[in-house]
Structure 1
Amino acid sequence: MNRESNTYTFIFAIGMVVVVAFLLAFAATSLKPKQDENVRKEKMQNILKTIGVEVEREAAEGKYKDYIKEELSLESDGSVDEGTDAFDVDLNKELKLPVEEQHFPIYIADVDGTKYYIVPLRGAGLWDAIWGYVALKDDLNTIEGVTFDHKGETPGLGAEITQPWFQAQFEGKKIFDDNDELVGVKVSKGSGTKGDNEVDAISGATITGNGVTAMIKERLSHYLPYFKKQKTQLALN
């Protein structure tokens, strides 16, 4: 075949596209198990971080087994769904379902004899999804720690929700008010001392901050039946 012809050029281009597509598909398929494993370990890292356990990714699974004693998948009435693996629940998919059909994962940790309840979070920021975890002390009211992440918030503005200085503000905050009503934690503008249910906002990131506020309250609201049962048991003991 004449290598100077248009036909040769066309066939060569098609061949190259096919070869490159095959190589990319092969690489994606080959790497997927490793990628999935990295995502799994990163999730463990983030859960542990809320209770003050900082670990490298490769050590996450061992530490996770040391501290996380229960993984529960709750139904909307607070009962436990024994047939669903809490760790595998995808909140992105769950949020598209009616509330009564959703599963609500919760992780119960033990750190030196102290129990913590860790709740996954997911909501909306300015540009795309935001998510994270919040750990509650055994009073099911006081926050031990949080971690947040995002898909597309603005660097230097909304993306600051991932920074330690912002997340540290939540430590010791309360999710219930003095009337025992769930209010979550409000990301609030303005100077001065913040109350038990407030933290300082990020300058120039009002919508992202509002998203964090809404995400915390909305997700925790679905755990109220379970929290009520746990508090009743605690009172009886």
Structure 2
Amino acid sequence: MEEKSVNKTNTNSYTFIFAIVMVVVVGSILAFAATSLQPTQYENMRQEKMQNILATVGVETDRAGAEELYKKYITEEIVLDYEGEIKEGVEAFDVDLAKEIKREPLEQNFPLYIAEVEGEKYYIVPLRGSGLWNAIFGYISLKDDVNTIKGAVFDHLGETPGLGAEITQEWFRERFTDEKIFDGSGNLIGVSVVKGNSSTSKDDNQVDAISGATITGDGVSDMISERLQYYLPYFKSQTDVKVANN
């Protein structure tokens, strides 16, 4: 009797081997693509960081022009310790705030950027805190009196679209312009995001909140006051502004 031929492509072993080969091939391609794109991704992140820092002092640019303008307007990059002293051997631009805030304050690095735009001096402080679902972060710049806000930029990792995610919008950021971070007695208050605040005063340490985004707004308030407190020793040494001893 004639033997029937077996189609090896229908066997379980063939399917198993084929699946392994495809996993290896696809994995290798993805790994190669990720490695190849890493320098480009890193450069995009650098340029976006420069864009955000510049935006706080009113210098708008696209990614392509960010580095040139950054070198033009950012005159100093320094890192402070907990006592407000300048630390040597640490590059401010390389400090990862996501990692720093997990350490004890005494061990943290506090990056600070100093800009000069049209003869005016500004101090730019990186921010990071917690929103409703994930981290929120950004930058805030202070005028030379280290009390008046020049501008702010905020971003997030996972806030709700149309609600907490609105912190990235220009109309929300503009609410912080010219707000004060100290009260009349020199105490660091920061700026609180308050629901229903319709006041046009820039001396009340408050801005109007985003409707339906209370927790995200509280996160913005908290990260501003929490981060700025660590810069008080340095600011006190640089200016005559009255700073409370916390």
Scaled to the shorter chain, the TM-score interval is over 0.9
2:162 paired with 1:137: no
Quick one: which amino acid aligns to residue 229 of structure 1?
S
- For residue 58 of structure 2, give the secondary structure of its aligned residue in structure 1: coil
Q: Deviations over 1:193-214 (max 9, x none)?
A: 1542110000000000000000
2:218 paired with 1:210: yes
Contact 1:194 1:200 in 2 (8 A): no
TM-score w.r.t. length of structure 2: 0.93
Contact 1:118 1:133 in 2 (8 A): yes
The residue aligned with 1:25 is 31
Q: Using the alignment, how far apart are the partners of 1:97 and 1:31 within structure 2?
A: 31
Q: Using the alignment, how far apart are the partners of 1:194 and 1:177 within structure 2?
A: 16
Alignment of 1:99-138 (within 5 A): 99-138=105-144
- For residue 152 of structure 2, give the secondary structure of its aligned residue in structure 1: strand
The residue aligned with 2:227 is 219
Structure 2 unmatched ranges of 5 or more: 1-6, 242-246
2:190 paired with 1:187: no
Contact 2:84 2:231 in 1 (8 A): yes
Alignment RMSD (CA, Å): 1.1
Q: Deviations over 1:67-91 (max 9, x none)?
A: 0000000001000001100000000
2:74 paired with 1:75: no
Contact 1:91 1:122 in 2 (8 A): yes
Aligned positions, number: 233
Aligned-residue offset at 1:3: 1.4
Contact 2:95 2:109 in 1 (8 A): yes
Quick one: which amino acid aligns to residue 221 of structure 1?
Q
The residue aligned with 1:52 is 58
Quick one: which amino acid aligns to residue 208 of structure 1?
T
Aligned-residue offset at 1:32: 0.4
Contact 2:198 2:208 in 1 (8 A): no
- For residue 189 of structure 2, give the secondary structure of its aligned residue in structure 1: coil
Aligned-residue offset at 1:2: 1.3
Quick one: which amino acid aligns to residue 198 of structure 1?
Q
2:231 paired with 1:228: no
Return the match for 2:161 from 146, 155, 158. Answer: 155
Q: Using the alignment, how far apart are the partners of 2:198 and 2:70 within structure 1?
A: 38
Q: Deviations over 1:180-237 (max 9, x none)?
A: 000000001124315421100000000000000000000000000001000149xxxx
Runs of 4+ aligned residues of structure 1 deviating over 2 Å after TM superposition are none
Contact 2:197 2:206 in 1 (8 A): no
Quick one: which amino acid aligns to residue 54 of structure 1?
E
Q: Using the alignment, how far apart are the partners of 2:136 and 2:183 within structure 1?
A: 25
Once the two structures are aligned, what percentage of the paired residues are identical?
A: 63
